[in-house]
Structure 1
Amino acid sequence: MSGSGSHNGQRILFLIASGMSTAGSFAGLTAKGWILMEQTADPMVLALHFAALSLPTMLVSGPAGVRTDRVGCERVLIQAQWALLGAGLLAALAIPMLEGQTQVLMLLASTLLAGVAGAYELTARNKYCALLVDDTRQLAPYLTSFSVVFNVGKLVGPLLGGWLVTLTGPAQALTLDAATYLLPIASVIWLLKPRLELEQRSTPGKTASLSVAWRDCGSTLRNVLTFTALMCVVGFFHPGLGPLIAARELGTAPMDLALFTSVLALGSIAGGIVLQRNSHRFCSRPSLTLAGFGLITALAQLGMARGGSTIFVLAMTLLIGAGTAGLLSSSNLITQVGAPQILRGRMAGLSQIAFLGGGGLSGLIAAQLTISLGLPTTFAITGGIGVVLALWEIWRRGGTMLTEVRSA
């Protein structure tokens, strides 16, 4: 296939396949979270579950970025998708074959494998997207489209997962998770025709390292990564403690967790749409954009600390979803459009280290604070620190401008 029209159809196909896979993934995560909450009711176990998904990025996102830039994004993308399928099957088999602590350990192991494979998949996908656009101006809105589709999957997946757990048990949700990975695998292998001849690969040696990408990306992008990491360490713990937050604020039934997760997703969709419609303008003011989304999250966390009616809690949950989605998506977007093509695999790896690695640490820190001080106090501490960090970034670097790199 060639030409603007055919590439447009391919971009839509890739979005749909990725969105359906995301919905299956969140159905599986909802089922796992409910099982862990039902069997342990331990905040630390829930935090470890999210850490197993996110903390591998601190170890493997760097090598994933280096490998993507060296051997090619399509090859790494296909390999990562097969590994994600294996992780999904491991979780699905754990339900009928195991029980008790062994089952819990197997579920955590499957999530750990998914975290490792997901780091490679996201890194390769970011660079792969640039090979599906016909004009460099299309890259920013296309990347943000993945944020919207991802968050639609976050909305549909938990509802589907909660419904399957309620009616048929968690095995069905986990089986769905595994099956949906077949969709992006099939699309990349047989249906998509990216412009691979335009891909720039790094040569083996010291110039292909992660440290070179960190050095060569420039001070503005380094600040984007540093600020994102700080904000995530402080306040990106709601995915890990979601089952606990839902149980304390809404109820302990599977659909209560599904409601909480879906409201988060609605907020994420809203944040993603705002970013998509203003992608070039928001890219041009990176610190103001990141700090603005971070401030929304922090203020909502202070609202959760205050507490109130169910409607108020859900409203704060919506804002947390919007703020965190905007922060993570804009960080990924800015580092991609602001870096040359030869660095984009490694920049995607650095972005993942910043927001998923930071989020994994945040979950463990928040879990310990919750055990020691309680959930409302934890929200108050993280929200207060987040407000200070966001306002400081706006005051210090709010006027910083970024010029997009005009190369696919």
Structure 2
Amino acid sequence: MTATRFSQARQRSIFLVASGMSTAGSFAGLTAKGWILMNGTENPMLLALHFAALSLPTLLVSGPAGVRTDRVGCETVLIQAQWALLAAGLLGALSIPLLEGTAQVGALLGSTLLVGIASAYELTARNKYCALLVDEPTQLAPYLTSFSVVFNVGKLVGPPIGGWLVALTGAATALSLDALTYLLPIASVIWLLKPNLEQEQRSGNQEHASLLHAWRDCGPTLRHVLRFTAVICLVGFFHPGLAPLIAADTIGPDPRDLGLFTSVLAAGSITGGLVLQRNSHRFCQRPCLTLGCFALITALAQLGMAKGETRGLVLMMAFLIGAGTAGLLSSTNLITQVGSKQVMRGRMAGLSQIAFLGGGGLSGILAAAITLTLGLKSAFAIAGGIGLALAIVEISQRGQTVLDETNKLRSV
């Protein structure tokens, strides 16, 4: 291994570790916010709005984020987004000692909204940035899926940290940790990483550099991947927003019960991410079969939650939901990045975010409405039934679809 190649490999590891630690702090903060809102209001719609504040900005922001990333450069956008995340985290932390009642709830929702906006820019820039840290085109797919694994490890350790911090020291400590961990990726990008910026292809301010042109130029297979992801997330990607309610209804009301539930979800997500990472090239080749199978796992687990009456069964189904949804979302991101040209990868990341986080935010609101009228188990049953039908149709009708080999191995 040459010195340069070793340096690039070490840089990739540094970026992964910094992102993972920041993710753990973020989920500790989100857990703390969710518990505060649930404990103070016991309103599932407010929890859904909290998750919507995190995810729905992607419907409006991810497109401009992708366009800006392709135009001005991924490193610039990445650094700006990370500073914005730090500011948003500090807003949430300061709201605990300084505000009370409705004002505090508004500040927490505002903090999460700003995190959602900044995260849209951070993710689009990070996806394109990763291609500048690899030595060969074939390294891109496993490196991108490594972020899924690290992200879900953060989801695993963050919620119990958040739950314990809330129980032992108060919510302000958890939210302060959330804010401070954003300093880690900022420091790594500014001082430690030296990506090969000469490889980056920028679109400039040309007419064809719009989000609409990326949608048209990405090809029919990637367009279908985005459409299917949006629909399946709209149907059944509500568990992040309603996690405090689900945990309280099925396990217990203590913040540590919420930490346990979200950690089991994260453990399933890690498993789904590892399966995808070890089969990244093969799964890219059959995109519709991959997405359909992960959607099938999620739907069956949701039907299991609708019938779950024991703590063990609930946790088992939560594990499968985590595996299915993580595999679905990571596959969408992987397929759209590896299957598109480097010059449009920022915009493709934006389109992917619109598909899964936009659909997920709306899904939480729909599920909360069903829960208020019919109950939580009915929400799981309806989502699982519709998701099962969509997954079966996808596998049976498009399971043999192959992503063009030249696209899959396109130069980074």
- Which of the five TM-score ranges fits, normalised by the shorter chain? over 0.9
Cα distance in structure 1, aligned partners of 2:43 and 2:88? 24
Aligned to 1:268: 269
TM-score normalized with structure 2 length? 0.98
Please state if 1:407 is matched with 2:411.
yes
Shift in Å, 1:4: 1.1
| 1:283-307 deviations in Å (ceiling 9; x for gaps) | 0000000000000000000000012
Contact 2:92 2:108 in 1 (8 A): yes
Shift in Å, 1:309: 0.9
Contact 2:21 2:181 in 1 (8 A): yes
Q: Which moved more, 1:221-230 or 1:397-406?
A: 397-406
Please state if 1:164 is matched with 2:168.
no
Secondary structure at the residue paired with 2:203? coil
Secondary structure at the residue paired with 2:242? helix
Aligned to 2:55: 54
Shift in Å, 1:206: 2.1
Contact 2:247 2:261 in 1 (8 A): yes
Contact 1:293 1:323 in 2 (8 A): yes
Stretches of structure 1 lacking an aligned partner (at least 5 in a row) = none
AA paired with 1:272?
Answer: G
Aligned to 2:175: 174
AA paired with 1:224?
Answer: V
Task: Map residues 189-200 of structure 1 onto 2, 5 A cutoff.
Answer: 189-200=190-201
Cα distance in structure 2, aligned partners of 1:314 and 1:5? 41
Cα distance in structure 1, aligned partners of 2:154 and 2:126? 17
Cα distance in structure 2, aligned partners of 1:156 and 1:13? 19
Secondary structure at the residue paired with 1:240? coil
Secondary structure at the residue paired with 1:3? helix
Shift in Å, 1:181: 0.3
Aligned to 2:328: 327
Go from structure 1 to structure 2 and tell me whether the alpha carbon gap of 1:2 and 1:223 turns closer, same or farther (over 3 Å shift).
farther
TM-score normalized with structure 1 length? 0.99
Aligned to 1:308: 309
Contact 2:37 2:46 in 1 (8 A): yes
Paired residue total: 408
Secondary structure at the residue paired with 2:194? coil
AA paired with 2:11?
Answer: Q
Cα distance in structure 1, aligned partners of 2:396 and 2:251? 38
Cα distance in structure 2, aligned partners of 1:16 and 1:25? 14
Task: Map residues 225-240 of structure 1 onto 2, 5 A cutoff.
Answer: 225-240=226-241
Shift in Å, 1:395: 1.2
Shift in Å, 1:2: 6.7
Cα distance in structure 1, aligned partners of 2:4 and 2:65? 30
Aligned to 1:365: 366
Shift in Å, 1:205: 3.1
Secondary structure at the residue paired with 2:240? helix
Secondary structure at the residue paired with 2:8? helix
AA paired with 2:393?
Answer: W
Contact 2:22 2:178 in 1 (8 A): yes
Cα distance in structure 1, aligned partners of 2:234 and 2:3? 43
Shift in Å, 1:3: 1.7
Aligned to 2:279: 278
Cα distance in structure 1, aligned partners of 2:104 and 2:3? 48
Secondary structure at the residue paired with 2:190? helix
Aligned to 1:143: 144
AA paired with 2:49?
Answer: L
Please state if 1:288 is matched with 2:292.
no
Shift in Å, 1:407: 1.0
Cα distance in structure 2, aligned partners of 1:379 and 1:183? 38
Contact 1:339 1:405 in 2 (8 A): no
Stretches of structure 2 lacking an aligned partner (at least 5 in a row) = none
AA paired with 1:21?
Answer: S
Cα distance in structure 1, aligned partners of 2:380 and 2:208? 43
Contact 1:340 1:405 in 2 (8 A): no
Cα distance in structure 2, aligned partners of 1:30 and 1:105? 17
Cα distance in structure 2, aligned partners of 1:208 and 1:400? 28
Secondary structure at the residue paired with 1:251? coil
Identity over aligned residues, as a percent? 74
Aligned to 1:241: 242
Shift in Å, 1:396: 1.2
Cα distance in structure 2, aligned partners of 1:262 and 1:349? 28
AA paired with 1:33?
Answer: G
Cα distance in structure 1, aligned partners of 2:96 and 2:382? 38
Shift in Å, 1:406: 1.9
Shift in Å, 1:239: 0.3
RMSD: 0.8
Shift in Å, 1:308: 2.0
Aligned to 1:87: 88
Runs of 4+ in structure 1 displaced over 3 angstroms? Answer: none
Go from structure 1 to structure 2 and tell me whether the alpha carbon gap of 1:40 and 1:295 turns closer, same or farther (over 3 Å shift).
same
Aligned to 1:251: 252
Q: Which moved more, 1:322-331 or 1:304-313?
A: 304-313
Cα distance in structure 1, aligned partners of 2:40 and 2:167? 16
Contact 2:138 2:409 in 1 (8 A): no
Contact 2:22 2:182 in 1 (8 A): yes
Contact 2:289 2:398 in 1 (8 A): yes
Contact 1:3 1:134 in 2 (8 A): no
AA paired with 1:260?
Answer: F
AA paired with 1:230?
Answer: V
| 1:84-105 deviations in Å (ceiling 9; x for gaps) | 0000000000000001111000
| 1:242-275 deviations in Å (ceiling 9; x for gaps) | 0000000011101000000000000000000000
Go from structure 1 to structure 2 and tell me whether the alpha carbon gap of 1:199 and 1:2 turns closer, same or farther (over 3 Å shift).
farther
Aligned to 1:153: 154
Aligned to 1:77: 78
Cα distance in structure 1, aligned partners of 2:357 and 2:378? 24
Q: Which moved more, 1:125-134 or 1:198-207?
A: 198-207
Cα distance in structure 2, aligned partners of 1:368 and 1:407? 46
Shift in Å, 1:212: 0.2
Cα distance in structure 1, aligned partners of 2:409 and 2:353? 21
